[in-house]
Amino acid sequence: MERIWLKSYPPGVPADIDASPYGSIRDILEQSVSRFADRPAFHCMGRTITFRELDGLSNDFGSWLQGTAGLRKGARVAVMLPNLLQYPVVVFGLLRVGLVGVNCNPLYTPRELEHQLNDSGAEAIVILENFAKTLEEVIARTKVKTVVTTRVGDLLGFPKSAIVNFVVKHVKKAVPAFSLPGAIALPEALAAGRGRKPDLPPIGHDDIAFLQYTGGTTGVSKGAMLTHGNIVSNLLQVSGWVGQGLEEGRETVIGALPLYHIFALTASLTFMKLGANHVLIPNPRDMKGFVAELAKHPFSVLPGVNTLFNGLMHTPGFEQLDFSHLKVTLGGGMAVQRAVAERWQEITKTPLLEAYGLTETSPGACINPLRVGAPFNGMAGLPLPSTLVTIRDDDGNILPVGGTGEICIAGPQVMKGYWNRPDETAMVMFPDGAFRTGDIGLMDEAGFVKIVDRKKDMILVSGFNVYPNEVEDVIAMMPGVLEVCAVAAADDKSGESVRVVIVKKDPALTREAVMEHCRKHLTGYKLPRIVEFWKELPKTNVGKVLRREVKNTPVTS
């Protein structure tokens, strides 16, 4: 089919990428180390490590995993860490010796962690001791034999490391007592691996780099098999797009999204290839602390999600920051709301660049052109280089331009399949290699993709489709609204009706004011029948609103 979107590509962006020069993520790391050895690679809590130091530390850990822990190519290693310097050291260490990373959310319950460890067949885990109690409860029912624990301050250098670790454990009481016999501390493992040369197995595009588990908000969490080829391709696709205005070795990226999430993970690898310094934010929920950290750095790239940007703009001191270095603000993970994007442009003088993707696409699939001063278009963007996006009906037929159907994606970034679930894989893959996203959307004549909504979130009112995103966008335009979520509610007359839950910015905001605003912008069947005000909305680890949890919560008013 004709790739009509290519005519809308910005100058300099290639129609296709060539991933053949890089056999694996290891090649990307080694190239960056060679080119940017003494430049800062990661910064966290006042400590910076260079690319050379990252190379040495990750080599030490990879050597230990291979030589002492006895893990061989293809073995799965779970990583349960927040955004600390330990994360890139551990992940690059396991990847360079051919092991498979299994990212685990540190906030997992014992049930969730047990499922993921057993489903992946993880033989080892690296865990922050703050969460070790959770592991203690389930480890006996898993195949995990090797446990590496680490403390928040372990890589901060003495004496800061000792001070931070003391405060976290004894002042903040953030480390519940745990017992994991045979566990080794990360500094000990690094010391034991130091000076060794690991046996570097051959790694190719088809080898699995990560088992990246889907959120599990709609059922059993599944592990997407993301290969080295998938990740390398996606970082080349994204860097070929956003890298046009960036200077190699001179950019500062803010890492507020958790690195165990695929959006943040691939973004980190993308900007590492460009030799950027990655400033890690361990706790972005502390908005005051986040803004204070931003004030210390000439940041030029800020990936995030809609709720993160919205929260920053409502934090005192944000508007006074120096945005003169900011070049790219990348919004993904959930839809960017018009009100948020327009306010961001007004404050920072930089566009909020909306992108679209899924865990199964490593994750990038579409992105908007970076055009300073361009108005927010409400689109998910254009398909990335080497990416084929089609809109299909339920039978898999490709719809003409402007037709609304399921967004399907084909390209080198599409996963190998779901781990040990060929039946689930078959359900989401067409014979021609296109992945069924489960998102409803359309493509316009210029090739821009617009997401209408998730299939499962669609509200059916008297036979009419109502898309929550549309209702949320309208309500988010109100100055008194901080956040909003729209879901379906059972209705005796219409089958379903629209229920909205709002977090107020203005305490004086009323249901009547919301309804009056909605009547001006929405047709009758799209109007909310239930309007509630909550103190906060439930969210995933990356700030994505959990519509299912909202829907399952009884109406409060």
Q: What angle in degrees, to the nearest 10, is found between the helix axes of 51-67 and 25-36?
A: 140
Domain stops at, among 438, 455, 472 = 455
Take residue 259 and report the two structure tokens written for it. 């690195």
Same domain, 418 and 281: yes
The burial of 2, by beta-carbon neighbours within 10 Å (0-12 exposed, 13-18 middle, 19 or more buried), is given as exposed
* Residue 287 is assigned to a structural domain of this protein: yes
Based on the structure, what is the number of domains in the chain? 3
Take residue 225 and report the two structure tokens written for it. 């098999």
In the chain, DSSP finds a helix count (H) and a strand count (E) of 16, 25
Comparing CA positions, the residue from 381, 377, 378, 387 lying closest to residue 356 is: 381
Take residue 185 and report the two structure tokens written for it. 């501390």
Comparing CA positions, the residue from 194, 377, 356 lying closest to residue 263 is: 356
Q: How far is the C-alpha of 63 from the C-alpha of 70, rounded, in Å?
A: 10
Q: How far is the C-alpha of 250 from the C-alpha of 134, rounded, in Å?
A: 40
Q: How far is the C-alpha of 72 from the C-alpha of 498, rounded, in Å?
A: 53
Q: How far is the C-alpha of 300 from the C-alpha of 320, rounded, in Å?
A: 16
Domain stops at, among 399, 421, 455 = 455
- pLDDT at residue 216 in the model: 42
- Residue 290 belongs to domain spanning: 1-21+227-455
Handedness of CA 19, 23, 28, 31 (dihedral sign): negative
* Residue 176 is assigned to a structural domain of this protein: yes
* Residue 303 is assigned to a structural domain of this protein: yes
The burial of 522, by beta-carbon neighbours within 10 Å (0-12 exposed, 13-18 middle, 19 or more buried), is given as middle
- pLDDT at residue 16 in the model: 98
DSSP single-letter state for residue 531? E
* Residue 215 is assigned to a structural domain of this protein: no
Tell me, what CATH number does 386's domain have?
3.40.50.12780
Same domain, 401 and 498: no
Q: Is residue 279 within 8 Å of residue 294, measured between CB atoms?
A: no
Take residue 130 and report the two structure tokens written for it. 């703050």
Q: Is residue 509 within 8 Å of residue 484, measured between CB atoms?
A: no
Beta-strand runs (E) in 151-235: 184-185, 208-213, 223-227
Tell me, what CATH number does 468's domain have?
3.30.300.30
Q: How far is the C-alpha of 21 from the C-alpha of 508, rounded, in Å?
A: 59
User: pLDDT tens digit string along 75-91?
Assistant: 999 999 999 999 999 99
The burial of 128, by beta-carbon neighbours within 10 Å (0-12 exposed, 13-18 middle, 19 or more buried), is given as buried
For residue 162, give the amino acid letter. Answer: A
* Residue 517 is assigned to a structural domain of this protein: yes
* Residue 212 is assigned to a structural domain of this protein: no
Phi and psi at 512, nearest 5°, equal -60, -40
Q: CB within 8 A of 219, min separation 6: which ones? A: none
Whole-Å CA distances, 8 to 15, 237, 371: 11, 16, 12
Q: How far is the C-alpha of 51 from the C-alpha of 48, rounded, in Å?
A: 10
For residue 383, list its beta bridge partners. 366
* Residue 245 is assigned to a structural domain of this protein: yes
Phi and psi at 422, nearest 5°, equal -60, -30
Q: CB within 8 A of 291, min separation 6: which ones? A: 312, 315, 316, 317, 318, 321
What are the per-10-residue average pLDDT scores of the chain (557 residues)?
A: 95 96 96 97 98 98 97 98 98 98 91 93 98 97 98 97 98 97 98 93 98 65 95 96 90 96 93 96 95 98 93 97 96 87 96 94 96 87 98 94 96 97 94 94 97 81 82 94 95 89 97 95 90 95 88 87
Same domain, 256 and 199: no
Only one residue has tokens 């050379």, namely 52
The burial of 148, by beta-carbon neighbours within 10 Å (0-12 exposed, 13-18 middle, 19 or more buried), is given as buried
> How far is C-alpha 329 from the geometric centre of its chain's CA atoms?
14
Tell me, what CATH number does 157's domain have?
3.40.50.980
DSSP 236-293: HHHHHHHGGGPPTTT-EEEE-S-TTSHHHHHHHHHHHHTT-EEEE-S-TT-HHHHHHH
Same domain, 131 and 182: yes
Same domain, 111 and 176: yes
Only one residue has tokens 């051959």, namely 202
Same domain, 419 and 495: no
Same domain, 540 and 513: yes
Handedness of CA 95, 97, 98, 103 (dihedral sign): negative
Same domain, 273 and 367: yes
Same domain, 442 and 307: yes
User: pLDDT tens digit string along 447-480?
Assistant: 999 998 777 788 888 877 788 988 999 999 999 9
- pLDDT at residue 20 in the model: 96
* Residue 482 is assigned to a structural domain of this protein: yes
Same domain, 422 and 284: yes
